[in-house]
Amino acid sequence: MIQNVLQGHSAISSGYLATRGVATCKAVIATFVNSTSTFIEHISAEKLFADMPTINGTQRRLERIVRHIFQRAGAAAVVRSALLLGGCTATSYTTNIRAIKSRVTDSQLRNFLEAIIVTRLQLNPETSFIDGLGEIAYQVSIVVNIDHPNDSGRLMISQIREIGIRFSETLHMVILDARSGESLISGQQSIFNSSWSFYPDPISNEHRQLVVKMAMLMYNVERMALITQDEFFDAVDTDDNIWNDEEDDIYF
């Protein structure tokens, strides 16, 4: 069974770990040195946007994420790679992260910042959500797995569902190396066409096997129950509710 990290939760697992419904919210993925564990935190858009105006607000958000990572992985863990995906604007976060890097002294936060290999925080343009009249919206399903603690067996699969205003859909699929950020395969499939088109074309036998694995994993992930408001506080073995951590936070 693939664990689904709900919005407002974080989790760590040595097996497959997934999250769904990432649109204006943000997913943080981390892998670790000499470990098969992966970490995912799914942060709501409301919490994300509250931090963005200032460097101090962004740093507080990152400090909370880092605290959750090392609470799960252990104080001695070393983050090998970190990926930030989702959101509807990237400017403030990207600029603020650069500023924070130059001043941070905490070793765990510095480890996390230096391990960031992918920052894609502009999945949906803000104009797409004005009065619900946007022509296209995107939602991401993510699956991460590290088969071996060394350089082999690294895998991250991202499926982006592009939803048009006329209810047409296009699925975009990207298979990434979760430890380097390298895009191994990308492809897309229209709702009107059951076959996928891939880049590079032709793909290698090794990558073709990844595509077959992707199809099976995404079938399982898409069968998960939809994430709703009622599910935010459901108990999941490896999940931890991150919202209780917000109560004493002060924004500048």
Q: What residue spans of 52-120 are helical by DSSP H? A: 55-73, 91-101, 107-115
Give pTM, 2 decimals: 0.79
For residue 240, being part of any structural domain is answered with no
For residue 235, being part of any structural domain is answered with no
User: Of 1-10, 65-74, 82-91, 106-115, which gets the smallest average pLDDT?
Assistant: 82-91
For residue 184, being part of any structural domain is answered with yes
**227 pLDDT more than 50:** no
d(CA 188, CA 161): 10
For residue 86, being part of any structural domain is answered with yes
For residue 197, being part of any structural domain is answered with yes
For residue 237, being part of any structural domain is answered with no
Tokens read off for 171: 């699925």
- Look at the chain and report how many structural domains it folds into: 1
For residue 246, being part of any structural domain is answered with no
Please say whether the beta carbons of 26 and 8 come within 8 A.
no
| pLDDT tens by residue, 40-91 | 999 887 776 666 668 888 888 889 999 999 999 999 999 999 998 887 665 6
Structural domain span for residue 130: 3-226
For residue 251, being part of any structural domain is answered with no
